[in-house]
Amino acid sequence: MSSRAVKTEAVVLRSMRYGEADRILQLYTPGRGRVSAIAKGVRRTRSRFGGRLEPFFRLRIELHEGRSELLTVTGAQTVDGHARLRGDGRALDAAARACDAVGRLFETTEPHPGVYNLLCRKLSLLDEQAGIGATADRAAALAFRLKLLLAAGLAPQLGACASCGEREHLVGFSGAAGGVVCAACEAGSFALDQRAHLFMAEALGRPLTDAPEAVDSALGQVERAIAMTLEHHAHVRLMPAAGSSR
């Protein structure tokens, strides 16, 4: 296999120190999914990459692809550095959780350009809201996760019982069945509040900028529904959607 140059946009999901001066990056790209790359000499003060190979940077990046799965960064330009986000602890924490969720749920090189766009919108939104103390961190984080589920083909069934198709008396949520369940099918499910049900339907139907809100108890159920769906159907576990200081 010959080596070649790859040019793509990418968001830096993670950046880990490696050796004396290098970094290993986990990148999310529109056309190649999640890729790992090494940036050499990036921690030297006069590195040509400057400080832009840090988490949450949106870049136009050049990579060298050889025989290894690890690509080599040969160039990078900033598309958006999300500078405001970097000065706000809560926004940084939310960005880290969003990037972690994308990295875990979409860990292969299978392309999901919709997920890339969603992540870019999420980071821009956090950047816009940084410093103004947005109050709905957990609701916004859960709305984002629901959209990731949709992109992964795992959106919970919400319109009818996921086991029998009944449209009335939808009282529970079953991760195994993949959605809401009726009173007759509730074995193995947990009780789901109307408000949690409505939140999920609205979050899936609205843009991220217009994400719904809900009381904390309902959000707790939504988070549990997402976690159970992911455990059953993707064998993935995510960090809590929001930090305890929300």
Write phi, then psi, for 159 (nearest 5 degrees).
Answer: -85, -25
Is residue 182 within the footprint of Zn ion (CB under 5 A)? yes
CA distance 41 to 215: 48
> How many CA atoms within 13 Å lie on the side-chain side of 62?
8
**Residue 102 near Zn ion by CB under 5 A:** no
SS3 216: helix
- Stretches 17-25, 48-56, 163-171, 220-228: which one binds Zn ion (CB under 5 A)? 163-171
- Can you give the C-alpha Rg of the chain in angstroms? 20
166 in contact with Zn ion (CB under 5 A): yes
The reply on whether position 158 binds Zn ion by CB under 5 A is no
| Residue 214 to residue 135: CA distance in whole angstroms | 12
72 pairs with which residues across the strands? 38, 64
The pattern of x and - marking residues 1 through 30 that bind Zn ion according to CB under 5 A reads: ------------------------------
Give the x/- contact pattern for Zn ion in 106-145, rule: CB under 5 A. Answer: ----------------------------------------
38 binds Zn ion (CB under 5 A): no
- Applying CB under 5 A, the span of 34-42, 74-82, 83-91, 183-191 interacting with Zn ion comes to 183-191
Nearest to 124, CA basis, from 207, 24, 245: 207
3 state DSSP class of 150 = helix
Q: Of the candidates 94, 98, 161, 219, which one interacts with Zn ion according to CB under 5 A? A: 161
Interacting residues toward Zn ion by CB under 5 A = 161, 163-164, 166, 182, 185
